[in-house]
Amino acid sequence: MSRGVEWALHACLNLSWLDDPVPTGTLAAFYELPSAYLNKQLQTLVRAGILTSTSGPRGGFRLARAPEAVSLLDIVVAIEGPEELFRCDQILSKGPGEHAGVDYRQSCAFARAMRDAELAWRRELAGKSVADVRADVEHGHPEAPANTRARIAELR
């Protein structure tokens, strides 16, 4: 899985603590990440409707919706793409006693099993929102929001 997923997750969490737009350079400096590449990932999140962007001075990125409405699955899908992890190439169609016109993505027992497992994974990720994670963090580290806001202001 792409490296950018971790960046996107933490970026969304930090943005959930901030009201004003934050530019790429500031977010990158926060975790010492390559700025231009992080920008690329954030652009992807904008295209997915998770973030909104504003240009010019005082511009940057903001969460497009409430943190409760952004699931971890949304972010993963935005960065990794909507394709399934396991891709069924329907090699069964080349086997003996098989008919053309059959969709082996549906009828192949392996494809079904792999898809079931993947659905379990997606269900877990869809059930956890950025707000949930934020609550976890604030429970264990109540100072985190203030620390983040202070550091962002310092880097601005």
Partner DNA sequence: GGGTGAATACTCGGATATGGCCTGTCCGAGTTGACGCGG
Partner DNA sequence: CCGCGTCAACTCGGACAGGCCATATCCGAGTATTCACCC
The owner of tokens 């929102």 is 129
By beta-carbon proximity to DNA, the closer residue of 47 and 112 is 47
How far is CA 4 from each of CA 36, 37, 41, 44, 105, rounded to the nearest angstrom?
A: 12, 9, 6, 10, 29
By beta-carbon proximity to its own copies, the closer residue of 20 and 98 is 98
Q: Which residues bind its own copies (CB under 8 A)?
A: 1, 3, 5-7, 9-10, 13, 30-33, 72, 85-89, 91-92, 94-97, 107, 109-110, 113-114, 116-118, 120-125, 128, 132-133, 136-137, 140-141, 143-144, 147-148, 150-151
58 binds DNA (CB under 7 A): yes
Q: Return all residues near 134 (Cβ < 8 A) that are at least 6 apart.
A: 13, 16, 17, 67
> Binds 94, which of its own copies, DNA, none (CB < 5 to 8 A, cut-off by type)?
its own copies
Q: At 96, which amino acid appears?
A: P
Binding mask 10-49 for DNA (x = CB under 7 A): -----------x-xxx--------x-xx-xx-xx--xx--
How far is CA 150 from each of CA 115, 147, 154, 155, rounded to the nearest angstrom?
A: 44, 5, 6, 9
Region 116-155 residues binding DNA, contact defined as CB under 7 A: none
Residues that bind DNA (CB under 7 A): 2-4, 21, 23-25, 34, 36-37, 39-40, 42-43, 46-47, 53-61, 81
